[in-house]
Amino acid sequence: MVKFDNVGLRYGADAEVLSDLSFTLFPGSFYFLTGASGAGKTSLLKLLYLAQRPSRGSIRMFGKDMITLPRQRLPDFRRRLGVVFQNFRLVPHLSAFDNVALPLRLAGTNEAKVVKAVSDMLEWVGLSHRAQAIPATMSGGEQQRVAIARAVIARPQILIADEPTGNVDPEMALKLLRLFEALNNRVGTTVIVATHDVHLLKKVPDSLIMRLAKGRLSDPTGALRYPPAPKPKIKTKSTGPRPLPEDPR
């Protein structure tokens, strides 16, 4: 699904912030990206969500070479990704509803379907009552949930989340993680969560861990190069997270 080969990234003439990254992300897997502050987590995520091109190496996503892909073709690939940014990056003058609706509207989805899908999604993240609130009037946790709803509304093939639990209390952090798990288990979305919270890693037992240190990735077990074992099918439990809303497409 995603293959990095000997990728390096530098900003301007500075030293490389990422060096010699080689790994493969397999469909339906759940990855944690860890590392100390300044290790290069956000830079790696930027490469993954196509906000940045590497200085060297090769990146293939969905079978295409992202290095040589013309920029006008990037939107097609970005629409297959869902991103939860570290600082949420909600459009400040749009309501929660319109922020969540943005990926669908950009993809040209019928407005009636948009209204239905966004309403369901806001209910799913427990923000129906805040549908018309603008980000400035929302708490950090509410903004985070809007950002997550926006990231998953179009059923991305890959969900990338940069410190998604950084601004919420432990209870909400766990709840958000369960949302990602549900997306991973029930829809088959590949999830990559960047975090420096080591306690979070134990909460998703089947997850794979990518450790970044000084811009280099450690992969002592080779887990990032070989496909993981197939997951057991999740049975519907009454205690599990609520089912995801219908696919708007």
Partner 1 sequence: MNAPPVTQDARTETSGDKVGSGAGLLPQTWFGGPIPWVIAILIALVVIAAAGGLSFRNLAENARADLSGAVTVQIAEADPQVRTAQAEAAGDALAGHPLVTSVRIVPEAELIELLEPWLGSAASSEDVPIPALIDVELTRRADRQELAQLQLALDRALEPLGGSARVDAQSEWLRPVYDALAALQYLALALIALVGFATAAAVWLAARSAFANHRDTVEIIHLLGGTDAQVTRIFQRSVLRDAVFGGIIGLLLGLGAVWLLGQQFAALDSGMVAGGGLGWVDWVVIAAIPLGGVLLALITGRITIGLALKAML
Give the number of residues in contact with partner 1, rule: CB under 8 A.
45
Distance CA 5, CA 176 (A): 31
Q: Does 49 bind partner 1 (CB under 8 A)?
A: yes
Closest contact distance (angstroms) between CB of 200 and partner 1 is 24
Instruction: Show the binding pattern over residues 137-176: x = contacts partner 1 (CB under 8 A), - = does not.
Output: -------------x---x----------------------
> Are 84 and 151 a contacting pair, CB within 8 Å?
yes
Closest contact distance (angstroms) between CB of 216 and partner 1 is 24
> Are 96 and 125 a contacting pair, CB within 8 Å?
no
Closest contact distance (angstroms) between CB of 53 and partner 1 is 6
Distance CA 8, CA 19 (A): 4
Contacts of 45 (CB under 8 A, 6+ apart): 33, 83, 160, 162, 192, 194
Closest contact distance (angstroms) between CB of 196 and partner 1 is 23
Pairing of strands 208-213, 30-34: parallel
Q: Does 10 bind partner 1 (CB under 8 A)?
A: no
Q: Does 219 bind partner 1 (CB under 8 A)?
A: no
Nearer to partner 1, 88 or 173 (CB): 88
Q: Does 203 bind partner 1 (CB under 8 A)?
A: no
Site for partner 1 (CB under 8 A): which residue of 20, 26, 28, 53? 53
Closest contact distance (angstroms) between CB of 65 and partner 1 is 15
Q: Hey, which residues between 98 and 137 contact partner 1 (CB under 8 A)?
A: 98, 101-103, 105-108, 111, 115-116, 118-120, 122-123, 128-129, 131-132
The pairs formed by 107-113 with CB atoms below 8 angstroms and a separation of 24 or more are: 107/79, 107/154, 109/248, 109/249, 113/248, 113/249
CA angle 103-45-52, nearest 5°?
A: 80
Structure token pair of residue 76:
């097609």
